[in-house]
Amino acid sequence: MFASTGRLTDLVCGNAAANEIWSPRATVQAMLDVEAALARASALHRVIPPGAVEAIVAACNADNIDGDALMTGAQAGGNLAIPLVKQLTAVVKASDAEAAKYVHWGATSQDIIDTGVVLQLRAALDLFDADLRSLSDGLAQQGDRHRATPMIGRTWLQQALPITLGLKFAQWLDAVTRHRQRLAELKARTLVLQFGGAAGTLASLRDKALPVAASLAQDLRLTLPALPWHTQRDRIAEAASFFGMLTGTLGKIARDISLMMQTEVGEVAEPAAAGKGGSSTMPHKRNPVGCAAVLTAATRAPNLVATIFAGMVQEHERALGGWQAEWEALPDLARLTAGALSNIVGIVAAMEVNVERLAHNLDVTNGLVLGEAVMLALGDAIGRLDAHKLVEGASKASVAKGTSLFDELAANETVTRHLSQDQLKQLLDPANYVGEAQAFVAAAIASANSKQQEQ
């Protein structure tokens, strides 16, 4: 028998920590944590008898809840909170019938569900914070290690001009640094209490409404918003947008790595591990399985983000479908993003780099990718257009005859009149035509380090 209640692929594109945060038990426990905090806050302001708190709080343990009955009740009631409160009340009543009268006092179902989701979001964002820090460190180390390692830059999947491998790491790092800033801003806006009662007025709590709300927020370590936000879903949509953008960046990294890992390219490889990346039929295969998981997440994420965005259009004071659409979309999106992030963290930290292949691939065009460098040097003497025409002709001859660009240019009188062979060799050395690559690497690392110090 299978012991797991999750999907068989939960660890292919997710990770254990994120899966636990959004597990059925954790979801129920988050809502019960809100119910327990509500009892404490209500008793503090004498809305309910202080003597009722102990029994209510003691009952707020997910182990007391029948999951199957909860699922069946949610089908009938339209949400999880209604059958949850029913079961919770029964558990409290078994130990203290008087205390059972005060379960869920003054709240509505959405208060419990939304605030529970915010508690889960907080745990998830803390997980992202730690992994983004690890990814930033890994990218900075790789960028620094390879800041001067030449490689070919590619545009439209074709060889373009030399860059450095460090620059590629730096480009990824720069995006990650921005995501870390977004995450900090997201926490401030999203980790807030939801507590409005039946129609968002807290009328049931009379003059104790605002004091109870403030104490509830303090108990749960959440910010107290200016007012309830039942059908204003921008906070949830911002979280989804962050997940979607981060997954897109991770997907870009995975795409680059997997392309560089192709047999014919062979410039980098995912870390080797027992049983990782093999084929069921081809013993020689070493598949980029980590990248595949990330790219799967990047493929699925946009539609999940779109679902949450579409659900923002809600009716009056309580949604009919839009809010409910978040219940599976947001956890799925968070799990996918967490899995993609942990995969990239592991890949970057122990990535294998084949410097010889990087050098070999720089030379597969016999120097043609350095034609621009020669053209600009000649342009100072004979003009840019004439220099372009000359180098273009030499490049075509090189391709037609299978010779190097150096051989063709060194045999051209116009070239040798203005450039010595040593100058020509210098111009055709990829390491001498990477522009400000190393400076850009340093800038990206400095920016990332500055972000580290802020936190």
pLDDT tens over the chain, length 455 residues: 444 567 777 877 889 999 999 999 999 999 999 999 999 999 999 999 999 999 999 999 999 999 999 999 999 999 999 999 999 999 999 999 999 999 999 999 999 999 999 999 999 999 999 999 999 999 999 999 999 999 999 999 999 999 999 999 999 999 999 999 999 999 999 999 999 999 999 999 999 999 999 999 999 999 999 999 999 999 999 999 999 999 999 999 999 999 999 999 999 999 986 556 555 455 556 789 999 999 999 999 999 999 999 999 999 999 999 999 999 999 999 999 999 999 999 999 999 999 999 999 999 999 999 999 999 999 999 999 999 999 999 999 999 999 999 999 999 999 999 999 999 999 999 999 999 999 999 999 999 998 776 76
Quick check: is 233 catalytic?
A: no
Distances 123 to 31, 249, 334, 356, 452 between C-alpha atoms, Å: 14, 22, 11, 43, 20
Burial 128-158 (b: 16+ CB within 10 A, else e): beebbbbbbbbbbebbbebbebbbbbbeeee
Per DSSP, the three-state class of 362 is helix
Element (H, E) at 352: strand 352-353
Q: Domain 368-427 in CATH: superfamily?
A: Fumarase/aspartase (C-terminal domain) (1.10.40.30)
Apex 365 CA angle, 360 and 369, nearest 5: 100
Two structure tokens written together for 374: 């020669």
Among 9, 25, 12, CA closest to 342: 12
What does the alpha-carbon distance between residue 10 and residue 15 come to, in Å, rounded to a whole number? 7
- Compute, in degrees rounded to 10, the torsion defined by CA atoms 402, 406, 407, 410: 150
What does the alpha-carbon distance between residue 393 and residue 175 come to, in Å, rounded to a whole number? 40
- The predicted pLDDT at position 37 comes to 98
Quick check: is 318 catalytic?
A: yes
What does the alpha-carbon distance between residue 289 and residue 287 come to, in Å, rounded to a whole number? 6
What does the alpha-carbon distance between residue 415 and residue 207 come to, in Å, rounded to a whole number? 89
- Residue 256's Cα: distance from chain center in Å? 16
Strand segments (E) across 61-215 = 150-155, 158-164
Exactly one of 279, 384, 417, 420 is catalytic; which is it?
279
Q: Domain 1-107+195-226 in CATH: superfamily?
A: Fumarase/aspartase (N-terminal domain) (1.10.275.10)
Two structure tokens written together for 248: 């897109």
Exactly one of 134, 318, 357, 404 is catalytic; which is it?
318
For 118-192+229-361, CATH number? 1.20.200.10
pTM: 0.93
Domain ranges for the chain: 1-107+195-226, 118-192+229-361, 368-427
What does the alpha-carbon distance between residue 108 and residue 25 come to, in Å, rounded to a whole number? 21
CB count within 10 Å of CB 276 equals: 12
Contacts of 381 (CB under 8 A, 6+ apart): 387, 418
- The predicted pLDDT at position 278 comes to 57
pLDDT digits (tens, 9 = 90+) for 251-288: 999 999 999 999 999 999 999 865 565 554 555 567 89
- The predicted pLDDT at position 450 comes to 85
- The predicted pLDDT at position 10 comes to 80
Element (H, E) at 24: helix 24-44
- The predicted pLDDT at position 161 comes to 96
What does the alpha-carbon distance between residue 93 and residue 295 come to, in Å, rounded to a whole number? 50
